[in-house]
Amino acid sequence: MKRSSIELVDNARSTVDPWLPFEKRSVELETRLRMAATEDEREALQRELDAELKRAFSSLTPWQRVQVARHPLRPRMLDYTSRVLDDFIELHGDRAVGDDPALIGGLGRFEGRTVVVVGNQKGVSTDERLRRNFGMAHPEGYRKALRLFRLAERFGYPVITFVDTPAAHPGIEAEQRGQGPAIAENLRAMLALKTPVYSVVLAEGGSGGALGVALGDVVAMFEWSIYVICPPERCAEILWRDADRKELAASALRITAESLRSLGVIDEVLPEPPGGAHRDPDGAANTLRIHIRKFLEGCDTNQWSPRKRQEKFRAMGQWLEG
């Protein structure tokens, strides 16, 4: 099911005002644009809106960028799969304990070929978010992902993973069933996997919970997404016992897509439509489609190999040696 941007808006409107302070002016213009009577008026408003979005989004502070990444209207995994894939058949269960609605996966068809898709579905409505635990996976989610990675490897299907989670679920049962070992197992398995993997961070990629499905031959981030070792609030709390210093932490942690590309943590940045993916999910999905197509062409020309993937992650880090 494809949700339009209007639906996205209506869904979130039903709960609280989802717009960020620096978006207010754009939203006002968008409303006026929808009601514009004449073509001339429409054109003028569109120009004004384009300029306003450009202005508002060109000077965001690191903390505001965190807010954009966490925007309640941001498209989620299933918004992308419904646009990018010709078909998606969800497969359920880790074959041991249960099925995790926070970390989902299955078989997909992309432009006539079979792929395996795995990722966090964070949910759109409040009900869905609760049911899906805000995209925070339990060990059985990671084990289901592993089972699907193995399935992909067996039949030579490329894997596409969608990363959209603040963290792995912190909870008693999760610990009991081995949250740490489950993530560790996925890291090792993804690095050994004989089939290529494309990973894309959609919104907020958080700590080991994100990493557990994010070790792609290509790791991409949407322009306004973030990828963090821990949320800036928590970083501030740990370092200075003061979560209110989150803004300082957000800027020091260098969590934006460009920063992380320059640090060699990710490979590519997917540009978003003006004002962010939530304003134009179709546009964002188109960009993703182009990048997945390029990745799959790389599969056909044997551009990716486990060895290259391993070497890439092995090279990450910076140190001095005297």
| Residues of the shown chain interacting with another protein in the complex, contacts defined by CB under 8 A | 167-172, 174-181, 183-185, 187-188, 191-192, 207-208, 211-212, 215, 227-230, 234-235, 238-240, 245, 248, 252-255, 260, 263, 265, 310, 313-314, 316-322
201: helix, strand or coil: strand
CB of 71 to another protein, least distance (A): 20
Of residues 36 and 230, the one with the C-beta less far from another protein: 230
180 is written with which tokens? 């740490």
Of residues 21 and 317, the one with the C-beta less far from another protein: 317
How far apart are the C-alpha atoms of 298 and 236, rounded to whole Å? 41
CB of 35 to another protein, least distance (A): 43
CB of 243 to another protein, least distance (A): 11
End-to-end Cα separation, the chain, in angstroms: 58
CB of 264 to another protein, least distance (A): 8
Which residue is listed with tokens 């120009």?
47
118 is written with which tokens? 């795995």
Which residue is listed with tokens 């709390």?
237
Exposed / middle / buried, residue 270 (Cβ in 10 Å: 0-12, 13-18, 19+): buried
DSSP string computed for 184-233: HHHHHHHHH-SS-EEEEEEEEEEHHHHHTT---SEEEEETT-EEESS-HH
Of residues 26 and 225, the one with the C-beta less far from another protein: 225
84: helix, strand or coil: helix
Of residues 1 and 307, the one with the C-beta less far from another protein: 307
How far apart are the C-alpha atoms of 254 and 277, rounded to whole Å? 21
CB of 140 to another protein, least distance (A): 14
Of residues 121 and 186, the one with the C-beta less far from another protein: 186
Quote the radius of gyration of the chain (alpha carbons, Å).
20
CB of 309 to another protein, least distance (A): 9
Find out whether 202 and 74 touch, Cβ atoms under 8 Å: yes
Of residues 108 and 123, the one with the C-beta less far from another protein: 123
Exposed / middle / buried, residue 248 (Cβ in 10 Å: 0-12, 13-18, 19+): middle
CB of 236 to another protein, least distance (A): 9
Of residues 26 and 179, the one with the C-beta less far from another protein: 179
CB of 164 to another protein, least distance (A): 16
How far apart are the C-alpha atoms of 100 and 93, rounded to whole Å? 7
Contacts of 258 (CB under 8 A, 6+ apart): 269
Of residues 112 and 322, the one with the C-beta less far from another protein: 322
Residue 198 main-chain phi, psi, to 5 deg: -115, 125
